[in-house]
Structure 1
Amino acid sequence: MHLIVLLAIFALAWRLRYTWSETGASWNQRWDRTLAIFLLPPLLLFTSAIAIIWMGPHGRMVWVGNDWLSYDLAIGFLGFAALYWLKLARSGWLMLQQVRTYPTTELDGNSVRLLNLATPYIAQIGFWEPELVISQALLDTLGTEHLGAVLAHEQAHYHYRDTYCFFWLGWVRQITTWLPQTEAMWQELLVLRELRADRWAADRTDPLLVAEALLLVVQNTSALTENFSAAFSQMAPADRLDRRIEALLAILEPSLDDRVDVIEPQHRQYQQNLSTWAWLLLALLPLLAVPFHT
């Protein structure tokens, strides 16, 4: 019976991911919907595995007996997830220790780590309290105003704790790569994260400055892609740069609203939609099978 439950949850998880598409009336709704569908399938699998281990391989569930196969699969899945988390955490911790060996300097009242890199680069690297890393090449490339826009963008990543949140989301991505559309949803979350930071910077500086700085930096850099790195030059497929530029220009030209998705004002952006997040309560569904086990 446990195997039947496990197969049913697997089919549901597959179906949820398969039906996802890049649609939504606003960026806020797209973020909520993508994040919910990205998280719900692995949460269902986790709670299913926990429920099966809790009930054990012996006894009966309803009218059907249980077996060791589902029990072993549950232990194997949780063990694999735990080991992969340890691997990612260790990799992030080692990189953070390396970053903290870089010399520090004061920039616009902030302490930053100076990176000896020949290309323009700036990023938050770490977990809950990331380090801001900047290359000398970026300081030489950008003027004062453009540099202020880039710093504001990175301040948004710090404010939203993007490095910490995307470390966990990156872990989910790695252990569910076999589910459909995992990579597409991951790229969507990345671009929505960058659009949020772009809007934060645009509200505090100037949208045109952010767009110009984005073009200057992205065209000349090779961005890190680790889950615990949030870089101004974070790139995904090439069309995502166009979407970021269009969203910034739409702030200056309201007439573009009918042709591009405009980011919502800062005080409304990415608010949690309770009706969307309520669907995550479905993740507790497998635990309801525990009382039927004898």
Structure 2
Amino acid sequence: MHSLMILMALVLAWGIRLSFPLSLFPWINRWQRSLVYFLIPPLLLLMTAIAVILMGYHGEMLGWPASRFSYLLSIIFVSFALIKWIQLTYQGWYSTQQIQNYPQKIIKGYTARILDTTFPYSAQIGFWQPELVVSQGLLDTLDNAHLNAVIAHEQAHANYHDTFWFFWLGWLGRITFWLPYTETLWQDLLLLREIRADHQATQEVDPLILAESLLIVAQEINKISTLNPLGVVEAAFHDINTANRLNERIEALFDESDNLGFDNFDGRFMLLTLLPLFSIPFHC
């Protein structure tokens, strides 16, 4: 029966991903759509594996005997997930330790670590309370108005705790890299993360100034890519992975809608991932 549970979870996870619409949704629906399709399959598989481990390989479930194979398979998957979590946690910790070597400076009212490079670069580095990192190249490249726009964008990342939440999303993506559209959805979420930060920044700065800042930094994107990335706890203004989707960020900047859908996530979809845990009482 446990093997059947695992098979059903796999079929459902693949089915959800294969039903992923490739056409772009309107902004107001896109955030929830991408989160739901990205989150539910890995969480469903993880909860199924945990349920099987908790029930063990002895006894029966609804008259069907438990099996060592399903138990062992679940142990392997959860162990793999745990190893990936340890790896990512260490990478994140190492990144936060690296930036402690950078000198600090007050930039537009915010304490920032200054990276000694000519490339224009800014990012939030850390977990729940990240630190702002700004390169000397960015300070030399941008005037006060454009620098204000970049700092406002980075502060939006901090307000949303993007480095923390995307650390966990990145972990789920890595343990289910083999599911369909994992990379496509991940890249879309990265883009939407930047659009959300842009949208909040426009509450403080002119969207045109922020768009100009994007274009200025984009001109140096190839040079920036030679930097050593600071990894899984980085939310950067330039976002190398989505630089080729700059037009979408600029388009969203000038969208006149007051709500782009970032506050519309309906958590009831997540209840589906808890279904395997409700099967535990039926094991005896």
1:291 equivalent in alignment to 2:275: no
Deviation at 1:200, TM superposition (A): 1.4
Q: Provide Cα deviations, 1:179-206, integer angstroms capped at 9, x if missing partner.
A: 0000000011011111111111222111
Question: Residues 87-236 of structure 1: matches in 2 within 5 Å?
Answer: 87-221=87-221, 222=224, 224=229, 226-236=231-241
Q: Provide Cα deviations, 1:235-268, integer angstroms capped at 9, x if missing partner.
A: 33554111111222444xxxxxxxxxxxx426x7
Q: Provide Cα deviations, 1:115-160, integer angstroms capped at 9, x if missing partner.
A: 0112110000111111100111111100110000000000100000
Q: Provide Cα deviations, 1:197-248, integer angstroms capped at 9, x if missing partner.
A: 1111222111111111001112213254722101110133554111111222
Of 263, 270, 275, 2:262 maps to 270
TM-score (norm 2): 0.93
Q: Any idea what SS the aligned residue of 2:76 has?
A: helix
CA contact (8 A) 1:104 1:114 kept: yes
Amino acid at match of 1:38: F
Deviates more, 1:237-246 or 1:1-10: 237-246
Amino acid at match of 2:40: L
Which structure 2 segments of 5+ residues have no match?
A: none
Q: Any idea what SS the aligned residue of 2:119 has?
A: coil
TM-score (norm 1): 0.90
Deviation at 1:291, TM superposition (A): 2.3
Amino acid at match of 1:288: F
Which structure 1 segments of 5+ residues have no match?
A: 252-263
Evaluate the alpha carbon distance shift between residue 237 and residue 139 of structure 1 in structure 2; reply closer, same or farther with a 3 A threshold.
Answer: closer
Evaluate the alpha carbon distance shift between residue 118 and residue 265 of structure 1 in structure 2; reply closer, same or farther with a 3 A threshold.
Answer: same
Give the RMSD, CA atoms, in angstroms: 1.7
CA contact (8 A) 2:30 2:261 kept: no
Deviates more, 1:216-225 or 1:64-73: 216-225
Q: Any idea what SS the aligned residue of 1:203 has?
A: coil
Partner of 1:260: none
Deviation at 1:25, TM superposition (A): 5.3
The number of aligned residues is 279
Amino acid at match of 1:191: L
Give structure 1 regions of 4+ aligned residues with deviation exceeding 6 angstroms. Answer: none
Partner of 2:5: 5
Q: Any idea what SS the aligned residue of 1:233 has?
A: coil
Q: Provide Cα deviations, 1:22-56, integer angstroms capped at 9, x if missing partner.
A: 55654232111211221111111111111111111
CA contact (8 A) 1:96 1:125 kept: yes
Whole-angstrom distance in 2 between the partners of 1:194 and 1:22: 20
CA contact (8 A) 1:124 1:158 kept: yes
CA contact (8 A) 1:22 1:30 kept: no
